[in-house]
Each structure stands twice: as structure tokens, then as C-alpha cells.
Amino acid sequence: MSPGARSSLPVILFLIVGFAAPLLAVIWFSFMPPRTFTFGGEPTLENYRTIFESTSYISFLWSLGLAVVTVLLLALICYPVAYGLVRVFGKWSTLITLLFTIPLFVSENIRLYGWMLFFIKNGVLLGTLKGWFGLQLESFLFTLPAIIFGMVYVYLPFMLFPMTLGISMVPNETRDAAFDLGASRWQVFKEVELPLSMPGIVIGFLLTFVLAIGAIAEAKVMGGQRVIPITHDIEIAFTYSQNWPLGAALAVLLMLVVGTLVVLALRKFDLDTFLGRR
């Protein structure tokens, strides 16, 4: 065994034990008979048949739809912010963007409950408007917009940071050369800045989408379970229903959907170029 292979052996073992083994366990368990708690038994497709014969597809569609809407809204919000940070702060933009990650040091549930207290009827916002201005407004908590608001708030750093990194990788010399050749501001943006920053944008899209499609706290706290995402069905299968094989099958289908979309997106650009390897 070469020295390079020996030095990489701990990393390979870590990936096998910490990543591949749990995934393989979940996949294998999805073929176990319903409501069993061991790996023994004759493999069966009963769990997948149950999923396709049930209404679980509605939860899948809700999770996909909420994730797509969250990604699109964050793209509209974060790109102008990232562009402004890069143009104003230059090389310090990445460091400043890290400040947006400070809320990540506080539990997601705590932050969402803070927003719930802010928006709830007679809470901080509506209570203040009623007490100071006599306005009596209905709270938008436990609605679909509240869920989307919570998801946009929670996953904003995961979109902003890659976008800022991607925009900061556009050389100023390339931009100046385009202006010198007579390109308009719109042409420079469309032909130079947007294509060169696209790797960071795609990474932000993928990272946010993968996290958002697995969101569950936002639907529970901000939506009052008005919308049931697929992760909620998985949680119910593993806990209250005590049907681990069904939960494993739901998790496998979710991984297949997300994995397929991620692979299709990653084929659109060169990771080596984005990481500066060439």
C-alpha cells in the first residue's frame, strides 16, 4: 500500500462508519417486514407498496414545493445583498457574511419560537400595534406564509454565504475589460458577472434546497402543522406508529429524490474550477 493510501485510510474508515454504514442500514431496513425492529426476516417490498398506495405523495409534494419556493425567495433576497457586500466591502465581504451565521449558534427551535411570540395574537408586534395605535390585526401565524417566512429566515445564511463567495470570485479585471470594450452595465452583468458567479449560486441553491426539503420545525412551530411535510411522516413512522421499516422506506425515497436532483445539478458546472483547482 502506498504512503498516500495509508494516510487516507482513516478518512475512508470514517466515511464508511459515519456515512455509508448508516445509509446502508436504512436502505436494508426499508425492506424488512412492517413493524419489525430487527434486520432479520424475509426482505419485502410491502413498505414501498404501502407508500405508493397511501397519500404520502402529498407530503412529498408539500416538501418539494416549500423547498422550491424557499430557494427562489432566498435567491431574490440574497443575490442583491451578496452583490452589494462584494462591491462595497471587497475582500472583506466573506468575513462580513460570516456575521450572518451568528444566529446558527442558537437553536433553530428557540429562534422560531421567538418569531412565534413576535407574531402571535397580542404578542410583541400585534400587541404593540393594538396598544399604541389601536389597530387590531389578525396574526398570520399557523398559515402557509408563516411557514415560508420561517424557512426563509432559517436558511438565509446557507444561501448568502455561497453566493457571496461566488460573486467575489469574479475578477475585477474581467469586468473592467468588458466595460472598456463598450459593453453596457446590463451586458456586463449578463455576460460576465452572472456566468462567472454561477458556481456559487448553484451551490447556494443546492445547499438550501437539501436543507429545506428536510425541514420540519418550521411547519410545526410557525405553521401549527397545517402543512405536513414528508419529514413529519418519517418522524411519525419511527415514533408514534412504531413502524421503523416504513419510516426507513420513506427516508430512502426522500434520499433518492434529493440525490437525483443534486446529481443533475452538479453535472452542469465544473467543481474543480469552482474550488480553484484549475
* Mean pLDDT across 18-34: 88
Q: What is the pLDDT of residues 142-200, one digit of tens each?
A: 889 999 999 999 999 999 989 988 888 888 888 888 888 888 888 988 888 888 888 88
As a whole number of angstroms, the distance between CA 65 and CA 73 comes to 12
Express as a percent the part of the chain with pLDDT over 90: 36
| pLDDT at residue 131 greater than cutoff 80 | no
- Only one residue has cell 438550501, namely 208
Taking a C-beta distance cutoff of 8 angstroms, is the pair 207, 75 a contact? no
Who wins on pLDDT, 86 or 265? Answer: 86
pLDDT range class, residue 209, cuts 50, 70, 90: very high
As a whole number of angstroms, the distance between CA 120 and CA 142 comes to 9
Who wins on pLDDT, 269 or 70? Answer: 70
Residue 224 Ramachandran class (φ > 0 left, ψ -120 to 50 alpha, else beta): left
**What local confidence, expressed as pLDDT, does residue 248 receive?**
94
**What local confidence, expressed as pLDDT, does residue 56 receive?**
87
**What local confidence, expressed as pLDDT, does residue 197 receive?**
87
Taking a C-beta distance cutoff of 8 angstroms, is the pair 230, 64 a contact? no
Taking a C-beta distance cutoff of 8 angstroms, is the pair 170, 196 a contact? yes
Q: What is the pLDDT of residues 111-120, one digit of tens each?
A: 999 999 888 8
- For 117, the grid coordinates are 411570540
Mind listing the domains of the chain with CATH numbers? 56-274 (1.10.3720.10)
Q: What is the mean pLDDT of the chain?
A: 86
**What local confidence, expressed as pLDDT, does residue 49 receive?**
93
**Which residues, other chains included, contact 39 with Cβ-Cβ below 8 Å and sequence gap of 6+?**
25, 28, 29, 32
As a whole number of angstroms, the distance between CA 203 and CA 197 comes to 10
**Which residues, other chains included, contact 28 with Cβ-Cβ below 8 Å and sequence gap of 6+?**
39
